[in-house]
């Protein structure tokens, strides 16, 4: 498994390329703006085969490049949670997305030899998901380094966000965390230092664990 990062400055979003090195199968996660030409060159140079477009949620800054990718790579499926699918607002422009495959809590998507597990983590949007693959956790706008996603947009919920953060914090073991914005982190680091995650887990905000 290999993970490449493409920062998209026009919308300040982290886009990720998840690659199965055994087969060359590739999924692009949250293409927030047009990266189709760049991705096509990378596929040719590296022998990658774009199989899927994974969306952690439906906000415009995470889905803006989907249309161009579908023109460049016809037939590639787009995975999105049903709670965010079929919307036609400036914030959630998902009704125009073609070839959408709805994924839900507990679904497992195969990418070559890799298995990607879907965790439904509402709060930022009703259809927000996190994606777990081996030791990697793609958290979209649910969990950030030292912070969490906003809940004051339409469809957001502070209560749901706290439940989603608690769920992430209670995952067994440690994970490399690849969020939708800002720097990468690890789940264990966030358990120790992220005030929102600690609050969700019932720990005092700002207080370090003694052990």
Take residue 149 and report the two structure tokens written for it: 């996603």
Place of tokens 């990062």: 5
Q: What are residue 138's DSSP bridge partners?
A: 131, 178
Contacts of 67 (CB under 8 A, 6+ apart): 96, 97, 98
Take residue 32 and report the two structure tokens written for it: 């927030």
Domains of the chain in start order, with CATH, are: 2-200 (3.60.15.10)
- Give the model's pLDDT for residue 160: 98
Quick one: pLDDT band at residue 192, thresholds 50, 70, 90?
very high
- Give the model's pLDDT for residue 207: 46
- Give the model's pLDDT for residue 210: 38
How much is the average pLDDT of 2-30? Answer: 97
For the chain, how far is it from start to end, CA to CA, in angstroms?
Answer: 33
How much is the average pLDDT of 17-46? Answer: 97
Quick one: pLDDT band at residue 206, thresholds 50, 70, 90?
very low
> Is the model's pLDDT at 211 over the cut of 70?
no
Q: Can you give the pTM of this predicted structure?
A: 0.95
Contacts of 155 (CB under 8 A, 6+ apart): 92, 125, 126
- Give the model's pLDDT for residue 204: 53
% residues pLDDT > 90 (the chain): 96
How much is the average pLDDT of 174-195? Answer: 98
The C-alpha atoms of residue 77 and residue 29 are separated, in whole angstroms, by 12
% residues pLDDT > 70 (the chain): 96
- Give the model's pLDDT for residue 76: 97
Q: Is residue 71 within 8 Å of residue 35, measured between CB atoms?
A: no
Widest CA span of the chain, in angstroms? 54
pLDDT tens track for 81-136 = 999 999 999 999 999 999 999 999 999 999 999 999 999 999 999 999 999 999 99
> Is the model's pLDDT at 208 over the cut of 70?
no
């Amino acid at each position: 498994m290999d993970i490449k990062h493409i920062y998209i400055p026009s919308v300040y979003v982290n886009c990720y390329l998840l690659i199965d090195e055994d087969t060359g199968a590739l999924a692009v996660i949250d293409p927030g703006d047009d990266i189709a030409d760049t991705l096509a060159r990378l596929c040719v140079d590296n022998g990658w085969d774009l199989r899927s477009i994974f969306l952690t949620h439906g906000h415009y800054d995470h889905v803006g490049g989907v249309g161009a990718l579908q023109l460049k790579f016809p037939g590639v499926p787009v995975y999105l949670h049903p709670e965010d699918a079929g919307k036609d607002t400036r914030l959630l422009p998902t009704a125009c997305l073609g070839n959408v495959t709805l994924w839900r809590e507990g679904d497992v998507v195969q990418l070559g030899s890799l298995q990607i597990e879907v965790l439904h983590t509402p709060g930022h949007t009703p259809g927000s998901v996190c994606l777990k693959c081996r030791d990697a956790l793609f958290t979209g706008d649910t969990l950030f380094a030292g912070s969490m996603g906003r809940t004051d947009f339409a469809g957001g919920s502070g209560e749901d966000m706290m439940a989603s953060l608690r769920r992430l914090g209670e995952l067994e073991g440690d994970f490399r965390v690849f969020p939708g914005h800002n720097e990468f982190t690890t789940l264990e680091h966030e358990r120790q230092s992220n005030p929102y995650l600690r609050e969700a887990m019932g720990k005092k905000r700002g207080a370090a664990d003694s052990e």
